[in-house]
Amino acid sequence: MSTTETTNTLVHVVATLKTKESSEAALKQAFSKLVPASQAEPGCVQYLLHTNVAEAKTFVLYEVWASKANFDAHFELPHSVEFGAAAKELLAEPPAIRFLNRI
C-alpha cells in the first residue's frame, strides 16, 4: 500500500466544544482524563487538544484514527462515556464534529 493510500484511509476529525460561562476549568479537568486514555486506544494515530486563542471558552480536538470503526469504538469506552456525561453539564451547545479528507 502506498503512503497516499494509507493517508486516505485514515479518519481525520476536528471537534469543537464551547463551554458555558465559568466552566473552562471543569472541562479542562475532564479532558485531563480523556486525552491520555484516548491516545492509548487501539487505532488512535493522533489525539490533540487545543484552545482557541481568540475564545478561551472554545476547545478544539484534532483527531486521526486508523479507521471509522476505531473512531466509533472510541465513544463506547468508559473514559469517553464518562467525559460525555460531564460535558453535557459543561458545554454551551453540542460539540461540532467535522470529518476531513486529507489532500
What CATH number was assigned to the domain covering residues 3-100?
3.30.70.100
DSSP 44-71: EEEEEEEE-SS-TTEEEEEEEES-HHHH
Please tell me the pTM assigned to this model.
0.88
Question: Do the Cβ atoms of 14 and 61 come closer than 8 Å?
Answer: yes
pLDDT of residue 52: 92
Mean pLDDT, contiguous 10-residue spans, the chain (103 residues): 57 97 95 98 98 94 97 97 96 96 87
Which pLDDT score is estimated for 103? 85
* pLDDT given at position 7: 55
